[in-house]
Structure formats: C-alpha cells, structure tokens
Amino acid sequence: MGRSRVTLLGAPLGPDAMSRMARALADAGGNIDRIVRLAKYPVTAIELDVSGVDPLELRRRLAPVAAACGADVAVQRAGLARRAKHLVVMDVDSTLIQDEVIELLAGHAGCLDEVARVTAEAMRGELDFAASLRARVALLEGLSAEVFTKVRAQVRYTPGARTLVRTLKRLGYQVGIVSGGFTQITDLLAADLELDYAAANTLEVVDGRLTGRVVGPIVDRPGKAAALREFAQAAGVALSETVAIGDGANDLDMLAAAGLGVAFNAKPVVRQQADTAVNVPFLDTILFLLGIPGDEIEELTEQTAGPRTATAAGARA
C-alpha cells in the first residue's frame, strides 16, 4: 500500500517534534522503513521512507501535527517522480529576494505607506491583483528611470538563494523566475544568477521617466501559471516534472499547476492550499525536498565558491 517520502524540517527539529510525528505516522497506519538525516544546522532536515498509507492521507494527518510542533513537513509519493523534477520556477518578491520591488520604488516616490498597504491586501488575496498593480504603479508617475539602478542596489537576495540556484544548475536543472514585479529589475536578477527563464511586467518609460503605466499584458495569478507552462514547454518537460515556489495569493495557480508547489514563508491562504509549506528563512531548503543532502550541497558550493551568507546547508550562498 502507499509509499511516501516524508521530509521534516525544523530550526531546530527537536526530539519532541520527532516523537509526535512518529506517533502520528503510526496512528495513520504507516511504517517507517528508512530514516536519513539530510542536514543538521542551521536547519535540521530528516527524510523518512514510509509505507502502508496513501500519501495524500499521510499529508492530511501530518500537516497539523507539524504546525503544532513549529516544524514543516512535505509528503511526496516515493519513486522516481521526485527525482524527475527538472524545472524549478520561483516567484521573486519575498521569495527569491527579501524585498517587494514596488515598495522600494514607492520609497523613492514618497508613497511607500499607501503602496505597502495595497500590496499586503493583494498578497492576502483580498484585492484583484491586476487592478491593485495598476493603482500602485500609477503612484510612481514621474519617477526618473535612474531609480532602477538605485533599487537594484537595494535588493537583498533571500538567504540561500544563490546556493539553491547554483546547486540546481550544477545538477542539470533549469531554473526560472516569474514575477508580478518588473522586468527592469527581474532581468538584472536573471542575468546575475544565470537563470534560464524570466517573466514579469514592464513599466512604461517615456523620455526617461515612468508614466505610471505598465506595458503589455499583466503577469497576474493566471499569468504566472501560464508562464510556468511556457517555461516547461520550452524546457521540454512535463508539468509533473516542475517545482513552483511562491508566497502570495497570486502564486496559487502556478503552485497548483506544478508537479510540486511549495509555499515559502507564505501567507496563510497559500500555506493551506500548496502541496507543502516551508517556514524557515532559507531558500535552499527546497533542495532537501528534492532529496539533496546538505553535504552534497556544500561540496557543490565549494566548487563554485561565492559570497559568504547564511544558508540552510550551512555553506556559502
């Protein structure tokens, strides 16, 4: 009967949490056939091979226990399906980076409080994203295009972002980003990280100044899912072989379309609907969900050494 690969994450993952998760597994009728520690610091990652219970039922049983323990749990069907993931697509704002780019732009325009309020409502799913984007962008009218250089200098990658991308690329994955933000910033990020795909909105600039409008179709919730499909087609992989990562309500269609949808430090509505949720502050924890252990991540990172920052594997970012 059902075979699952269960990944437990915690910072730290203590013995009480492990005991409660093991009890929940037993109560669900599952057997733990194998236990492997993928990482121990600053994030503890434990991988379990479980048999005897359907993966969907197991996920339903374990998710509330993990939440009560302050841990994260991912349940995937065992076998080659997980190793067959070949394309990883990420949201940008508050996922790949720690910032909301439109709020950085708004800071230079003197309308940060108003833009931040509307952004928060949109990410919680309380406002239509396209309408909210147009309203926020209108407040940027008149800004000099030189602001993009200033904002790019302000952008901070999420801890572990470089490690995630470097490791995936070294292992042969293709990596893309899709954003409700703006190509004037995302294209620079894609070039810096040597990503394979990127899609975002474009701010209109006339005579060196922002007009307060966007050019072309808006990349919104359906647009992000469409971009994932386009990337998968270009990469020559099935949607079942993709991983999508995001934090806001406008990521939900993309997360649902992917073979594995991961809510990363996400809003409650996203955590509830995604395949799994990660709530530690390191983006490279996604590697553990793919079964890649911390020592292998460190080895690959040593081969492509970069700036020292915090990561889930305890290696360089």
pLDDT for 314 equals: 59
pLDDT for 300 equals: 76
CATH number at residue 63: 3.30.70.260
Q: Which of 91, 220, 247, 251 is catalytic?
A: 91
User: Does pLDDT of 112 surpass 90?
Assistant: yes
pLDDT for 244 equals: 97
Q: What is d(CA 264, CA 54) in angstroms, rounded to the nearest whole number?
A: 25
Cα three-residue angle 124-128-132, rounded to 5 degrees:
90
Fill in the DSSP letter of residue 270: H
pLDDT classification of 315: cutoffs 50, 70, 90: very low
> What are 172-202's pLDDT values in tens digits?
999 999 999 999 999 999 999 999 999 999 9
Q: Does residue 66 lie within any of the structural domains?
A: yes
Q: What percent of the chain has pLDDT over 90?
A: 75
Q: Which of 16, 72, 93, 187 is catalytic?
A: 93
Cα three-residue angle 136-140-141, rounded to 5 degrees:
120
The yes-or-no answer on residue 91 being catalytic is yes
In three-state secondary structure terms, 255 is helix
pLDDT for 239 equals: 94
Q: Which of 161, 177, 175 is nearest to 310 (CA)?
A: 161
User: Does pLDDT of 310 surpass 70?
Assistant: no
- DSSP codes, 5-55: EEEEEETT--HHHHHHHHHHHHHTT-EEEEEEEEE-SSSEEEEEEEESS-H
Q: Does residue 41 lie within any of the structural domains?
A: yes
Q: How many domains does the chain have?
A: 1
pLDDT classification of 80: cutoffs 50, 70, 90: low
Question: Do residues 178 and 91 lie in contact, with contact meaning Cβ atoms separated by under 8 Å?
Answer: yes
Which residue carries 């509505």 as its tokens? 269
Instruction: Pinpoint the alpha helices (H) of 161-313.
Output: 161-170, 183-193, 221-235, 252-257, 268-273, 286-289, 294-303
Q: Does residue 13 lie within any of the structural domains?
A: yes
Q: Does residue 4 lie within any of the structural domains?
A: yes
Mean pLDDT estimate for the chain? 91
> What are 230-250's pLDDT values in tens digits?
999 999 999 999 999 999 999
Q: Does residue 60 lie within any of the structural domains?
A: yes
- Residue 198 Rama label (left phi>0; alpha psi -120 to 50; beta): beta
> What are 120-167's pLDDT values in tens digits?
887 787 888 888 999 999 999 999 999 999 999 999 999 999 999 999
Q: Which amino acid is at 87?
A: L
The yes-or-no answer on residue 93 being catalytic is yes
Q: What residues make up the domain containing 44?
A: 1-78
> What are 246-256's pLDDT values in tens digits?
999 999 999 99
Q: Does residue 176 lie within any of the structural domains?
A: no
pLDDT for 316 equals: 36
Fill in the DSSP letter of residue 280: S
What kind and span of H or E run contains 246? strand 242-246
> What are 31-69's pLDDT values in tens digits?
999 999 999 988 999 999 999 999 989 999 999 999 899
Question: Do residues 244 and 89 lie in contact, with contact meaning Cβ atoms separated by under 8 Å?
Answer: yes
Q: Does residue 208 lie within any of the structural domains?
A: no
pLDDT classification of 99: cutoffs 50, 70, 90: very high
pLDDT classification of 287: cutoffs 50, 70, 90: very high
pLDDT for 118 equals: 87
Q: Does residue 149 lie within any of the structural domains?
A: no
- The mean pLDDT value for 168-172 works out to 93
pLDDT for 119 equals: 82
What's the whole-model pTM score?
0.89
pLDDT classification of 307: cutoffs 50, 70, 90: low
Any bridge partners for residue 6, and if so which? 48, 75
